[in-house]
Structure 1
C-alpha cells in the first residue's frame, strides 16, 4: 500500500476535510444515512438492486443518474466505478469503505432449500453470494481506505464451521490494518427493534488507533431467543480458547440507561389504518400500492423518537405527512389479526382461526344450513377463515407485536409478506405499513423509497438501522479525527517511506 496516499488522506482529515465514504452493497442506504448524520461525506455507493439503487441516489445525490443506476460489483472494477462517479484516481477517492455483503448465504434460514437445489449437505457454503465478501476486500485493496466497516448476520461467526469475520480480520491485518469485530443489538442504540448483527471495524495501522465500539444508550432485557442466537454465533469462538482472535465483547448496557424505544413510541403518531373498516367500505383492494397520497399525522403528542423521525436533519418529513403509509390487502386475515394477542405467533393464530370457523359453522347450522363436513360449502367456509400453513412447520411465520417492547427483527421477507409484524393495535387489525416498517428500522419520514410497496418493504428489511449506523459512525469519526490530529500518526508514513528509500 502506498504510504504517500495514506499520508495525504490523514493530512486532509487534519485540515478538517470530511472523511469520504464508499458504501458497498449499499441497499437503500441505512449505513449511508448513519454515516452522513455523523458528518461523513457519502461520495459513492454500489448496489445491484434497481429499486434500492434509485432510493440511494434519491436520498444522497438528489437522483443524479450516475448515482442512481444499479451496479454489479462482480462486473465493475474499482477503476470503472471511480470513472463513472467522476472521482479521479482510484486510490485517492475514498477514506472509508463500508457495507454489508449479502447476508442470505450466511444465515441459517434457507440452507435447507439450498441443499435441496444442489443435493449437497453443505451447499450453502458454495452459494456464490457467500463469495461476495471477497469482492468487498478487492475494493478495499484498490481504494486504500483509512478505515473499513463490515456488517453481517451473527451466523457469519459460524458459517459452515468457518468464522468469516475472523478470517476477514486476518486478511485485513495482513494488508496493514488493525481489526476487531463484535455483535451489537440495535435496541441498545435507540432503535425500536431487537436486531442483532455482526460489525467489523478496521483501521490502517499508521493511525495507531484502537478498535472500539459505541456504548449503549438504552437498556433492555433481551428475550431468550436473542441471547440464544448470540451463543450459537459465538460457538466457533469457544473452539478458539487459547488462540488469538479479533472478537471484542460488546459494550455492556446498564439498567440505569433509558429503557429501549417501544413499538408504540415509534408508531403511535402515525394515523390509524382500520383495515376492517376500509375493507367494508371498499377503500382497500388488491393491486400495487403507490406512494402518491400523503397522510397527515394524528393528534397524539409524538414521542421523542417520533420527533426525531419527523425532523431528522437533511431528511425531515413533509409537513403533510408521509405518503408511504400503505398496507397489504389481506381480507381473509383482518378479523383474525383482531383476535390475536400480543406475542401470538402462527400456532396461536391458527387456533384462533379454527375457533372462528367453528363459531361461524355453528351459526350457519343454527340458521338451518346443515353444511355437512366435507361438502364444497364447508370447505369454502374453512378456506375463507383458516390459513393454509401447517402450524407445526411454520411456528414463527406470524407474530403480533407488543406495543411496550421493541419489535422483533425486520427481514427482507417483508417484501413478500408482513405477517412477521402484525400491528399491536387490535382495532386496526392489520400488518404494518411501509412507513411503519421504516420507523421500526429508524429511517426518518423524509427518507424516500423507490418503487411500490413490495420492493420498499424489501429495501427496509435488508437495511442496517440508521440510528445504529450513526452510533458506530460517530465512534469511527472520533477515532479518525484523533488519529489525524496525532502528529505521530501523520509522520509515521513519511518516516517509513524515508527508511525504504
Structure 2
C-alpha cells in the first residue's frame, strides 16, 4: 500500500490484480448552505428566508436533482428527505431549508416528518419526489387496496412499497400540487397498476392528474433517458408543458461537455483532478455550456476526474468508435463473454446524445467512454450530462459522486415537469376543500355505468365476470370474424357448464358456423374432462394447456376479472381518440398504454372498464366510419368532430368495419401499419 500526499488531498493507492492501482479518492466535505436550517429552527426559517416563497418538499430527494429543477421553476425546497447520508450532505450544501435523514418506509418516521412540518401547515404548495416503486406481480395486487386503506402501514410491505409512504405524506400535507418521477418500468412492468392506484387515490382527494412518458432530451437533457412523470393539482385541470425540442435542436454531447479541459490520458496513471484550471474556449460556448457555467468560479472547474485506465482498455478505447460493439473488440483484449456482454463498452458520439447516466457508473464507466479521449467520463462530465451546473458539488468520494449523479433526476427534466404545475390564476374550485372533479373521473363513471348495463344484456359474454369455460371459449375465438350473435350463441351453448366435458365440446363444435371457428374450438381438447383445471385455484393453467397465444391468454384473464391493461388495437384506438393523440398509430405499447390508464383507472371496476373499452373499440369506435352517436363516451371524445367527418380506413390488423362483427384481435407487438383516422 502506498500513501500519496499532494497539495490538495491524501490519496490511498493499492496495487491490485485489476490492472491499475486501486485508488480511493479523497472524501469531499461540504459546508451547509448558508440558508439551510435544522428542524428546531424551522419555524424561524419560515418567517425569515422562507417568507413569501412558494414552498415544496422533496421526498426521496437524493443529492437534489429534482430539488434543483424545482428551484429553476420557482419553488424553494423547505425540506428534503432521504436515507442516504452522503446524498443528504450534498443536498444540505446546495439548498436552503432542511435536509432530513429519514426512512419513510417507517410509519413512525412519517409521523415525525408531519410533526416537523407542522409550522408550515397550509404553506407547502408542492410535494415532489421519486419513490422507489417495485412493479406488483399479479399475486401481490390483491394486497394493494388494504395497503392504500391503511396508508401503507403494513410492516411486511413498508420497506418495499415506498410509493404508499409517498401517497400517505401527500394525504397528510394536502399540497396544491404533486409531482412524482420514476422509471417507465414502474408503469410498463405491471400494467400501470401502482400508477393507476395512485391516480385514483389522488382524484378521490380532488386532484386532477396527468401521466406522461417523457423523453428527457426533449427538455434539454443531453442523453437518452425516458421517464414516467405523474402530475396532480387541485386548482385547475390544466398541465401546460413547455415546448419540446426538435431532433435538430437537441443538446448534443459536444454542446454539453465539449468545452471542458482536455485530459492527458496515460495508461494506469491518474486521470484528472478535483480542481483544474478552466479556460473559456476560443470558439463560442454552446448555450447549454453557458448555463452550466453560470455562477461557477470563472477560471476553475471542479471534480473533472475519473478512474485510471488499464493498458488493455486504453488499446480498446483507442480502436473504438461510437458504433463499435464489444464483440468487435480484439479477442485478445476481451475480458468478458461476448455472448453475455454485447454492449459492455460504449463509446459516445460528439454529435449525438449520451447513453442514460445511471447509478451503475459508480461501479465502472464502460458505458460512457469519452468520444475522443481514451477514458471514461469524469464526475463533472457526468454531472453536465445530467444537467447539474458546474457550481454544484457532490459530497464524499469519487464513487459517491458518481452514484449520486446516476441516481438523480436530471434538473432540466424536473424543471419542465414542475413548470407544468405553476399556479395559473384560473382556480376553478373557488377554495372548495373537496377540490376538482376531474374529467377522467367522469369518463370512467360513464364507462362503468354503460358496461354494467351491457353486462345485463346481450353483450354479457364480452365482459367480466365470466366463468373459466366461457372466458376460454371467447379467448380462443377472438381472432375469428364471427358476427356477434354467432359468438354469443356459441358461448350460450355451454352457459351452465362449470367444466368442459366431451359433450360440451361437441356442442360447441356443432354450433361453430365456420371451419375457422371449429378449428379454434378444437384447441380446447387438452382441457376436456379435466374438472380440476377449471377450479379457481387452477384456472390459470388453462392458457398453458390450451396453448393460447399471449393476447388470447390476457383476454382470458381479463374476462375472469383480472386487473390488467388490454393492449388491443380497438381499445387503444378508443383511448387515443378520447385523449386526442395518435398513440394508436405510433407507439401503442408505451404511449398507448398511458392513454389507456386514464380510462381504465383502478379499483374493483377497472377490469370491467378495460373489457368495455375493448367492446367499444370492436363495435362503435371503429377504424372506418365510427358510430360516434352510439358511443357511450362521445361527449368526452377529443376527436369526435374529426373522426365523424372523415372516411377512415380500417387498420392493418384486419378489423372488420361491419357493425355486427367481432373484429380480429391485433397481436400485441411493437409495430403496426400507420393508418388514417
The alignment's TM-score, normalised by the length of structure 1, stands at 0.67
Contact 1:82 1:90 in 2 (8 A): no
Task: Work out which of the two has the higher radius of gyration on C-alpha atoms and give 1 or 2.
Answer: 2
Q: Which runs of 4+ in 1 moved over 6 A?
A: none
In structure 2, relative to structure 1, the CA distance for the partners of 1:461 and 1:446 (3 Å cut) is same
In the alignment, structure 2 segments of 5+ residues that lack a partner are 1-50, 138-155, 437-677
Check conservation: 1:193, 1:406, Cα contact below 8 A: yes
Of the three residues 321, 327, 349, the one matched with 1:347 is 327
| Aligned pairs, number | 365
1:207-246 aligned at under 5 Å gives the runs 207=235, 209-220=236-247
| TM alignment of 1:96-107, pairs within 5 A | 96-102=126-132, 105-106=134-135
Tell me how far apart the structure 1 counterparts of residues 435 and 327 of structure 2 sit (CA, whole Å): 67
Which of 88, 102, 126 in structure 2 is aligned with 1:71?
102
1:148–1:431 Cα change, 3 Å: same
Kept in 1: contact 2:105–2:158 (CA 8 A): no
Say if 2:288 is the partner of 1:305.
Answer: yes
Aligned partners of 1:297 and 1:213: how far apart in 2?
A: 39
How large is the Cα RMSD of the aligned pairs?
2.7
Q: How far did 1:82 drift?
A: 4.9
Deviation of residue 203 (structure 1)? 1.1
Find the counterpart in structure 2 of residue 411 from structure 1.
Answer: 358
Cα distance in structure 2, aligned partners of 1:168 and 1:297: 49
- CA gap 1:213/1:196 in 2 versus in 1, 3 angstroms: farther
Alignment partner for residue 87 of structure 2, among 43, 52, 74? 52
Greater RCO, 1 or 2 (C-alpha within 8 Å, sep 6+) = 1
Is the 2:360–2:406 contact (alpha carbons within 8 Å) kept by the matching residues of 1? yes
Partner residue, 2:562: none
CA offset at residue 264 of structure 1? 0.8
**2:250 equivalent in structure 1:** 260
Unaligned runs of 5+ in 1: 1-15, 109-125, 221-257, 358-385, 497-501
Q: Does 2:259 match 1:269?
A: yes
CA contact (8 A) 1:26 1:46 kept: yes
Q: CA 1:411–1:325 in structure 2 vs 1: closer, same or farther (change >3 Å)?
A: same
Deviation at 1:327, TM superposition (A): 0.9
Quick one: structure 1 residues 345 and 70, their matched pair in 2 at CA, closer, same or farther if it must change by over 3 Å? farther
> What is the rounded CA distance, in whole Å, between the counterparts of 2:388 and 2:351 in structure 1?
20
Query: 1:439 Cα deviation (Å)?
Result: 0.6
- After TM superposition, give the deviation of residue 74 of structure 1 in Å: 2.2
Match of residue 335 from structure 1 = 315
Does residue 469 in structure 1 map to residue 409 in structure 2? Answer: no
Counterpart contact for 2:57–2:77, Cα < 8 Å? yes
Q: CA deviation at 1:347?
A: 2.2
Matched, 1:147 2:177: yes
CA distance in 2, matches of 1:494, 1:169: 16
Aligned residue runs from structure 1 range 375-414, under 5 A? 386-414=333-361
- The answer to whether 1:39 aligns with 2:70 is no
Matches of 2:102 and 2:320 in 1, distance apart?
43
Q: 1:169 aligns with which of 195, 199, 222?
A: 199
1:156 aligns with 2:186: yes
Deviation at 1:78, TM superposition (A): 3.9
1:95 CA drift (Å): 1.5
Task: Check whether the contact 1:437–1:457 (CA below 8 A) recurs between aligned residues.
Answer: yes
Output the CA distance in 1 between the equivalents of 2:67 and 2:218.
20
Greater share of residues in helix:
1
**Native 8 Å contact 1:91 1:142 kept in 2:** no
The whole-number CA distance in structure 1 between the counterparts of 2:259 and 2:157 is: 43
CA deviation profile, 1:187-223 (whole Å, cap 9, x unmatched): 111111121000000112xx1x124251443112xxx
Residue in structure 2 matched with residue 296 of structure 1 by the alignment = 278
Distance in 1 separating the partners of 2:178 and 2:118: 21
Q: Distance in 1 between matches of 2:204 and 2:119?
A: 24
CA contact (8 A) 1:202 1:211 kept: no
The 2-side partners of 1:275 and 1:56 are apart by: 32
| Aligned equivalent of 1:458 | 403
**1:423-457 CA-partner distances (Å, limit 9, x unpaired):** 111xx211000000011111100111111111111
* Structure 2 match to 1:187: 217
